[in-house]
C-alpha cells in the first residue's frame, strides 16, 4: 500500500518585544523549524501562506492585538513600471549582475556594515558580526542564491540580495546596498531586476516580505504595481494602499491554536508501507 503522510512541524511563538515598524507596539512571531528532506516543500507551502524565511526558521507575525503586517508579493504579469521606476532602471543600466551560491564574502560584509551603520544603526541587526552575517547568508536548507550587483568597469560591489527560489517565484530574503548613493535608488532597482529575472524564468511572483501601513520603512513596496497582500487567508490585489490602516483591535488576530490549525501543510512524498 502507498500512503501520503503529512509534514507535521512544531510551531512556537516568540515572547513579546518592541515592534520595529510601529512605535509603541509589541510584536510576536509564530515560527517553525525548516530542516530535513522536506524543507523545500514546507518553505514553498508556507511562503504562499504569508511566512518568511530567516536561516532555518520560517516565521509569520502573530501579534496579540495588531494585524498590520501583511506579506506582500508582486504579480509579475500585472507589473507595469512607473515613470520613476523606468528612470531608476536607466540610471542603473551600467550595473552588472552575478548570481552565486549562498557564500558570504568580505566584500559583502563590508557593504552590509556600511548599509547598517547608515540606514539601520538602531535596528535589531546593528550588532551583527561577520560570523552572524555568514550564518545569515549560508545557513539555508533550501535553494538560495546571492545576487550581487557591481559596476561593469570598476567591479565595485554596490548591492546584494539573498534570494530564495520558490516553485512560484523569487523571495527576496534580505537586501542591502551602498547607502551613500540615494540618487541611484538601488533598493528599488534590485526589485525591478528581480521582476525581470522572474519573468525570464517564467516564475509568476516576486515576494517582498512584509508591508506595514503607517510604516515609512515599508512604504516603498506599495509603489509597485501588481502588488498583492496576504490577508484573511488569501492573496488579494492591493488597489489602494490608503484603504489599509494599522489600527489595533482586540479581535484583529485569531488565537494561536486557531492560526496553527488553519495552516495548510504539504504532504510528504508517497511512502510504501
Domain span at residue 52 reads: 2-69+247-272
User: Does any domain span residue 123?
Assistant: no
- With b meaning 16 or more CB within 10 Å and e meaning fewer, what string describes 102-120? bebbeebbebbbebbeeee
Burial class (CB in 10 A: 0-12, 13-18, 19+), 152: exposed
User: Does any domain span residue 12?
Assistant: yes
pLDDT digits (tens), the chain, 273 positions: 444 445 578 999 999 988 888 888 888 999 999 988 889 999 999 999 999 999 999 999 888 778 888 999 999 999 999 999 999 999 999 999 999 999 999 999 999 999 988 876 666 677 788 999 999 999 999 999 999 999 877 789 999 999 999 999 999 999 999 998 888 999 999 999 999 999 999 999 999 999 988 777 778 899 999 999 998 889 999 878 777 776 665 566 777 888 888 888 887 654 444
Number of domains in the chain: 1
User: Does any domain span residue 187?
Assistant: no
User: Does any domain span residue 204?
Assistant: no
Please give the model's pTM, rounded to 2 decimal places: 0.90
Amino acid at each position: 500500500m502507498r500512503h501520503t503522510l503529512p509534514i507535521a512541524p512544531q510551531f512556537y511563538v516568540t515572547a513579546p518585544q518592541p515592534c520595529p515598524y510601529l512605535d509603541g507596539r509589541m510584536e510576536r512571531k509564530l515560527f517553525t523549524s525548516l530542516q530535513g528532506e522536506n524543507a523545500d516543500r514546507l518553505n514553498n507551502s508556507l511562503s504562499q501562506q504569508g511566512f518568511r524565511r530567516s536561516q532555518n526558521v520560517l516565521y509569520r507575525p502573530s501579534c496579540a492585538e495588531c494585524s498590520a503586517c501583511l506579506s506582500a508579493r508582486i504579480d509579475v504579469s500585472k507589473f507595469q513600471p512607473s515613470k520613476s521606476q523606468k528612470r531608476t532602471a536607466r540610471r542603473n543600466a551600467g550595473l552588472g549582475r552575478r548570481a552565486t551560491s549562498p557564500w558570504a564574502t568580505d566584500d559583502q560584509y563590508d557593504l552590509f556594515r556600511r548599509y547598517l551603520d547608515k540606514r539601520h544603526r538602531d535596528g535589531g541587526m546593528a550588532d551583527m558580526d561577520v560570523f552572524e552575517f555568514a550564518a545569515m547568508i549560508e545557513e539555508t536548507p533550501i535553494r538560495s542564491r546571492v545576487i550581487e550587483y557591481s559596476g561593469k568597469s570598476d567591479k565595485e560591489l554596490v548591492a546584494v540580495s539573498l534570494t530564495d527560489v520558490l516553485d512560484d517565484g523569487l523571495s527576496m530574503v534580505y537586501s542591502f546596498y551602498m547607502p551613500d548613493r540615494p540618487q541611484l535608488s538601488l533598493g528599488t532597482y534590485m526589485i525591478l531586476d528581480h521582476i525581470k529575472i522572474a519573468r525570464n524564468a517564467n516564475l509568476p511572483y516576486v515576494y517582498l516580505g512584509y508591508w506595514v501601513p503607517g510604516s515609512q520603512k515599508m512604504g516603498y513596496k506599495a509603489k509597485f504595481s501588481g502588488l498583492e497582500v496576504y490577508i484573511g487567508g488569501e492573496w488579494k490585489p492591493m488597489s489602494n494602499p490608503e484603504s489599509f490602516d494599522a489600527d489595533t483591535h482586540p479581535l484583529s488576530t485569531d488565537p494561536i491554536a486557531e492560526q496553527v490549525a488553519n495552516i495548510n501543510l504539504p504532504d510528504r512524498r508517497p511512502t510504501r508501507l
